[in-house]
A = this chain, B = another copy of it.
Amino acid sequence: MTLPRSYDGQACPLAIALEVVGERWTLLILRDLFFGVTRFTDLQVHLDVPRAILSARLARLVDAGVAERRAYAPGRSEHVLTEAGLELWPIVHQLMQWGERHLVADGPVRLFAHAGCGTELAHDGGCPACGTAPPPVDIETRPGTGVPRVVRTDRISVALRRPHRLLTPV
């Protein structure tokens, strides 16, 4: 199957990775999966993404082995990151940090701390106190001092303004 938005002519593994995570919305969907937003409707209202796109992107993530679809009740399903998906955390985190440093005027919009020791993570994702890079499950996030571009009022955005452990349901 020739994918629509593929990079057929490219030999590089970066191109192959981008065929999975490089499409519009996909990295934002992954961010939400790390944040513990896993239900279709929650993702849709939080991202303001067209339902058709969300559906297509989740399916792509599933068959690339990045996420898994799980039924948690009859007719209710959620998408959770696989081991391969969890390994995308450094990339998602560092890209967010890079955006904070270079594209956002005032202070940090969102902070990440090592849940074990409470230390803010360095911009490479490491915990300065422990000298290791904590996995997402050991990270707590909360809003920073910077003013976001827009203030969203959907249920998920509001919930994420309280300190929240990554990968735990919102």
| A interface residue numbers (CB < 8 A to B) | 5, 7-18, 20-22, 24, 27-28, 31, 47-48, 64-66, 84, 87-88, 90-92, 94-104, 109-110, 124, 133, 148-152, 157
Q: In the complex, what residue of chain B is closest to A30 when comparing beta carbons?
A: B14
| B residues in contact with A90, CB < 8 Å | 90, 94, 124
Copies of the chain in the assembly: 2
Do A13 and B65 have beta carbons less than 8 Å apart? no
| B residues in contact with A24, CB < 8 Å | 5, 22
Do B7 and A28 have beta carbons less than 8 Å apart? yes
Bound: A27/B15 CA distance, A: 9
| B residues in contact with A110, CB < 8 Å | 12-13
- Across the interface, A14 reaches (CB within 8 A) one of B22, B96, B101, namely B96
Bound: A15/B143 CA distance, A: 16
Bound: A151/B9 CA distance, A: 9
Q: How far is the CB of A82 from chain B (nearest CB, A)?
A: 9
| B residues in contact with A133, CB < 8 Å | 124
Q: How far is the CB of A143 from chain B (nearest CB, A)?
A: 10
A-B contact pairs, 29 of them (CB 8 A): A5-B24, A8-B150, A9-B48, A9-B152, A10-B28, A10-B47, A11-B109, A11-B151, A12-B109, A12-B148, A13-B103, A13-B110, A14-B95, A14-B96, A15-B99, A16-B104, A16-B149, A17-B96, A17-B98, A18-B99, A20-B103, A22-B24, A84-B98, A84-B102, A87-B98, A87-B101, A90-B124, A91-B91, A91-B95
